[in-house]
Every structure is written in C-alpha cells, then in structure tokens.
Amino acid sequence: MNKSSRWIGSLLAGLTMALAFAAGPALAEEDRHGMENDMPIPTDDAALANGKDRFQARCSYCHLPDGRGGSSGVKLAGQKYKHGSKSSQIYATIAAGKPYTKMGAFASTLSSEEILNIVAYIRYLQEWKLKDDAAAEGGAK
C-alpha cells in the first residue's frame, strides 16, 4: 500500500464513523412517530406519580400496567398510534374516548389536570420502550 492510498483509507474510515454518528439521532427521531408535545405536559415528579396512579387505577385494566397491550390489544408504550401520538391527540382520545370501541370518554370522571398527568406518564412509558428497543438492537442506550 502506498502512502496516498493509506491516507484515503483512513479518510474513508473517518467519514464512515462520522456518518454513523450522524445517522444515530436521525433514526431515533424517525422511530418516535410524531411523539410531539404540541400541548404542554407536566414534567415534575408529583405530576408523573399522579399520572401513574390514575393510569393504574383507570387504564391498566385494558392497557396493562406497563402499557404494553392487555385486553384492548392497544400498546400505549409503543410509538405508533392509530389516533395520533401528539400530546393534544392523546389528550383528546382520553377525554372524548373512541365511539363504538371499548375506549370510553374520561372527561367527566378525570380532571383535565389528571388527564395531562396521565399523558405525561404515557410519555414516560414510551421513552422506556424506546430505550428497551435501543438496548435490544445492541445500540447505545
């Protein structure tokens, strides 16, 4: 190998590493499937604890305590949502329910603050699932 081909070799190795690094975060964004908080959700521990408590009491019966399926078959801990994964869309699904399905409306039995806390807890479950998937793929956590 002459000097210049060695130089090109190390340049290519460097480029490959740079590309792999750049592709990492972009791929993760794609995996999020529109998990956008267009409606602000609480981030403090008390809100999250209340959201978890309300979720276990009112939702886990159908969606399982970890949000990974259950009798509804709907995985809230995943990223692909039929009715949209923006915080405003999840809020609307919980408040108004989905007619002709077992998903009832909770606007009359949960306060808007409680619903927002639940949305925050669902985000936590989704982030947890993303980390699990990344670990399963052997990628960085």
The residues that touch ligand HEC, with contacts defined as CB under 6 A, are: 58-59, 61-63, 72, 74, 76, 81-83, 90, 93-94, 98, 101-103, 106, 118
Of the pair 40, 73, the CB lying nearest ligand HEC is at 73
Torsion sign across C-alpha atoms 20, 21, 22, 26: positive
Can you read off the two tokens belonging to residue 69?
């399926």
Of the pair 81, 116, the CB lying nearest ligand HEC is at 81
Q: How far is the CB of 109 from ligand HEC (least distance, A)?
A: 9
Give CA separation, 59 vs 46, 55, 63, 104, in Å. Answer: 19, 5, 6, 10
Q: How far is the CB of 72 from ligand HEC (least distance, A)?
A: 4
Of the pair 5, 57, the CB lying nearest ligand HEC is at 57
Instruction: Find out whether 77 and 87 touch, Cβ atoms under 8 Å.
Output: no
Of the pair 106, 129, the CB lying nearest ligand HEC is at 106
Can you tell me the distance from the alpha carbon of 60 to that of 57, in angstroms, rounded to the nearest whole number?
7
Of the pair 79, 137, the CB lying nearest ligand HEC is at 79
Q: How far is the CB of 125 from ligand HEC (least distance, A)?
A: 10
3-state secondary structure of 75: strand
Q: Which residues of 126-140 are buried (b: 16+ CB within 10 A; e: fewer)?
A: beebbeeebeeeeee
